[in-house]
A and B are shown apart, each in its own frame.
Chain A
Amino acid sequence: MNQVMSKAMQESPNADGHYNLRLYVAGQTPKSITALANLKRICEEHLVGRYHIEVIDLLEHPQLAAGDQILAVPTLVRRLPEPLKRIIGNLSNMERVLVGLDLRPVTAP
């Protein structure tokens, strides 16, 4: 997609562990600002050098909402690695975000 304030981080040559993330927001609300800050923090902690975040503001691009089945805002969509995952909310619950991104097993040992 050709749009948006896309924040390219360091690209990893290794596509295997690469995370392609897209954050859908609707305007600069406190929730979306919090979500973006949380997302950046998590990525820096767990995915250094192998992630790519694209932020889409639905108020500017409403036609994109249907394509990724966006309902709640903010929604983080993990496009890569597959399968596609949707994580909704301001990402303040770190545990759940990590589960959603498959960065931690669902059941703790």
Chain B
Amino acid sequence: MSITASIPARGAAQALAKARTGILGLDEVTFGGLPAGRPTLICGGPGCGKTLLATTFLVNGAVMFNEPGVFVSFEETSDDLIENVGSLGYDLGALIAQKKIAIDFVRVERSEIEETGEYDLEGLFVRLDYAIKSVGAKRVVLDTLEMLFAGLGDTQILRAEIRRLFAWLKQRGVTAIITAEQGDGTMTRYGIEEYVSDCVLLLDNRVSDQITTRRLRVVKYRGSAHGTNEYPFLIDAQGVSVLPVTSAGLAHAASDEVISTGIPGLNQMLGAGGFYIGTSILVSGTAGTGKTSLAAHFIEAVCARGQRCLYFAFEESPAQIIRNMRSIGLDLQPRVDAGLLRFEAARPSLFGLEMHLARMYREIEEFEPAAVVLDPISALRGETGDVHSMLLRVIDLLKSRGITAFLTNLLSVEGMDKADAGMSSLMDTWLSLVQLESNGERNRGIYVLKSRGMNHSNQIREYQLTSHGVKLVDAYLGSGGILTGSARIAQEMVDAASAVRRAQDLERKQRDVQRRRAALERKISELRAELESEEEEARKTLQHDEELEKRLQAERHAMAIQRGGTAS
């Protein structure tokens, strides 16, 4: 068949050709799509999304893969169908006008039909053939073929004809989806899974704790590997998306690059100067410890790098978060306006865990953020094990994409929750916010409980929520541990007073020295003056002696002349 030949085989030489569904996640679960040129059975209970899934397959084929399609509807008229899928944003009317999709409504009404002997379903074949030719269809949906059993009585003929129909579809080389209602204890009410042996998808819509979760499972897929788990899937205004559960491997790359926490003091506490990119960070603390404020700082730091950030808020509305963060001097609104920050707010009780997961997956795929904030994970309801496995999947999803995860967790009581302890192994960095109670007041303290791959501080540091953001305060260690709040302030005052005292002492000592120097210098000059006067006297005496000597000489000369001698 031509479809088969056009898709290059990967790996094994005879790899099965696949028709991509274009449905987020489903192509991953089926490793490439539905078997091309073969029929696939989608079964499930009422209202589990069979028709929408099939329609999406058809529309995506026409829009994304240039494969026109035929929709044979046994339940809904063309108009109803166009209207119903319009809610998913599909414009079937336009696609029909462009001859990319043909809809044929086959009405089977038992009361209008009288059976009078042998017959076959050649009429259906003729219609299908005509419709396929009219748009050059590569894809066909039969929704719901089993309606035939309700309309026609001769099941023997029907079974033979359905078998013939599947063979015919295969021979035509169209990729077909046949939907069927789930029966009591069987996959389909009339057992047509016996005839479709290539690929069977089972849809399920389960309610637990009054919350519905849609799930999809690939029951079988002949000739291909496939994910074997139940995968949650989502139908909403943006269409159908399936959540492929975990790359079970631990093969994510580890980045050496660091992203700022947005708080200088906190950067210092973490040895590397911030969080490693692509790691998971948990901030836990009791009510009012400022978890969201810390998250806001981180967001601001991410956005300041020009990177996108996705914020899943489970307890507050975006407007409320933005308003509250303004009170600590952080305005996130410009970041939202610039398209760097997106809020996704939903009450945890709105969907089940799986649906939250599926929604997150879709948002992350679409927005491609550098960082994701979940605030708070404690709001997610469910059994501890379920929450844990969901978070594991979120973390895996984010890590495999190198997205930094920032999770907050509200602790119900002081100390560590059991769930919290279970979370620990998933987290690379765990910041704990504590209320330090002493001297009749509560103060906020932060410490790094763990941070993989960096030499982090072991101190509990006090921090304050100021109008200019979160500020870490220098730690004061007193005899009874760290000092916070007014005790710290008192200690600071004591310190300040002693500093003043020390300064005064120093000054006085300096003055003393100066005084003594002055006194000594005075003494020195006195002595010098004394010395000078003594020297003067000595000089005068010397002069007097010389004059006396001269006079004596002169007298001696005069006496000699008088005696008549000559002078010698």
Interface residues of A (CB under 8 A from B): 24, 26, 31, 34-35, 38, 58-59, 62-63, 65-66, 69-75, 84-93, 96-97, 99-100
Binds A, one of B110-118, B335-343, B435-443, B483-491: B110-118
Known contacts A59-B126, A63-B130, A66-B104; decide if A74 and B114 are in contact (CB<8 Å): no
Q: How far does the Cβ of A52 sit from chain B's closest Cβ, in whole Å? A: 20
| Residue of chain A at shortest CB distance from B124 | A71
Known contacts A65-B126, A85-B112; decide if A71 and B117 are in contact (CB<8 Å): no
| Residue of chain A at shortest CB distance from B113 | A86
* Residue among A59, A85, A90 making CB contact with B119, cutoff 8 Å: A90
Q: Jot down 21 A-B pairs with beta carbons below 8 A, ordered by A.
A: A26-B123, A26-B126, A31-B119, A34-B117, A38-B117, A59-B126, A62-B126, A65-B130, A70-B123, A71-B124, A71-B127, A72-B120, A72-B152, A73-B120, A75-B119, A87-B114, A87-B116, A91-B116, A92-B117, A93-B115, A93-B116
Taking a contact as CB atoms under 8 Å apart, the answer to whether A69 and B107 are in contact is: yes
Interface residues of B (CB under 8 A from A): 104, 106-108, 112-127, 129-130, 148, 151-152
Q: How far does the Cβ of B378 sit from chain A's closest Cβ, in whole Å? A: 57
Q: 15 additional contacts, CB 8 Å, given A34-B118, A73-B119, A93-B115?
A: A31-B119, A65-B130, A69-B106, A71-B108, A71-B127, A72-B121, A75-B123, A87-B113, A87-B115, A89-B117, A90-B116, A90-B118, A92-B116, A93-B116, A100-B116
Measured in the bound complex, the distance between the Cα atoms of B417 and A31 in whole Å is 76
Taking a contact as CB atoms under 8 Å apart, the answer to whether A58 and B117 are in contact is: no
Q: How far does the Cβ of B509 sit from chain A's closest Cβ, in whole Å? A: 112
Q: Which residues in A have their C-beta under 8 angstroms from that of B106? A: 69, 71
Q: Which residues in A have their C-beta under 8 angstroms from that of B114? A: 85-88, 96-97, 99-100
Taking a contact as CB atoms under 8 Å apart, the answer to whether A24 and B118 are in contact is: no
Taking a contact as CB atoms under 8 Å apart, the answer to whether B129 and A62 are in contact is: yes
Measured in the bound complex, the distance between the Cα atoms of B132 and A62 in whole Å is 12
* Residue among B112, B130, B152 making CB contact with A62, cutoff 8 Å: B130
Main secondary structure of the interface of B (DSSP, over half): mixed
Taking a contact as CB atoms under 8 Å apart, the answer to whether A88 and B116 are in contact is: yes
Measured in the bound complex, the distance between the Cα atoms of B117 and A34 in whole Å is 10
Measured in the bound complex, the distance between the Cα atoms of B120 and A86 in whole Å is 14
Q: How far does the Cβ of B547 sit from chain A's closest Cβ, in whole Å? A: 161
Taking a contact as CB atoms under 8 Å apart, the answer to whether B123 and A58 are in contact is: yes
What 6 pairs across the A-B complex have the smallest Cβ distances? Answer: A100-B114, A89-B117, A92-B117, A62-B130, A70-B123, A26-B122
Measured in the bound complex, the distance between the Cα atoms of B116 and A91 in whole Å is 5
Measured in the bound complex, the distance between the Cα atoms of B117 and A74 in whole Å is 10
Q: Which residues in B have their C-beta under 8 angstroms from that of A93? A: 115-117
| Residue of chain B at shortest CB distance from A63 | B130
Measured in the bound complex, the distance between the Cα atoms of B115 and A92 in whole Å is 10
Q: Which residues in B have their C-beta under 8 angstroms from that of A59? A: 126
Q: Which residues in B have their C-beta under 8 angstroms from that of A96? A: 114-117
Q: Which residues in B have their C-beta under 8 angstroms from that of A26? A: 122-123, 125-126
Q: How far does the Cβ of B462 sit from chain A's closest Cβ, in whole Å? A: 78
Measured in the bound complex, the distance between the Cα atoms of B120 and A31 in whole Å is 9
Q: How far does the Cβ of A38 sit from chain B's closest Cβ, in whole Å? A: 8
Q: Which residues in B have their C-beta under 8 angstroms from that of A38? A: 117
* Residue among B116, B118, B127, B151 making CB contact with A70, cutoff 8 Å: B127
Measured in the bound complex, the distance between the Cα atoms of B118 and A85 in whole Å is 18
Q: Which residues in B have their C-beta under 8 angstroms from that of A91? A: 116-117
Q: Which residues in B have their C-beta under 8 angstroms from that of A65? A: 123, 126-127, 130
Q: Which residues in A have their C-beta under 8 angstroms from that of B121? A: 71-73
Q: Which residues in A have their C-beta under 8 angstroms from that of B119? A: 31, 72-75, 88-90
Q: Which residues in A have their C-beta under 8 angstroms from that of B123? A: 24, 26, 58, 65, 70-73, 75
| Residue of chain B at shortest CB distance from A31 | B118
Taking a contact as CB atoms under 8 Å apart, the answer to whether A88 and B127 are in contact is: no
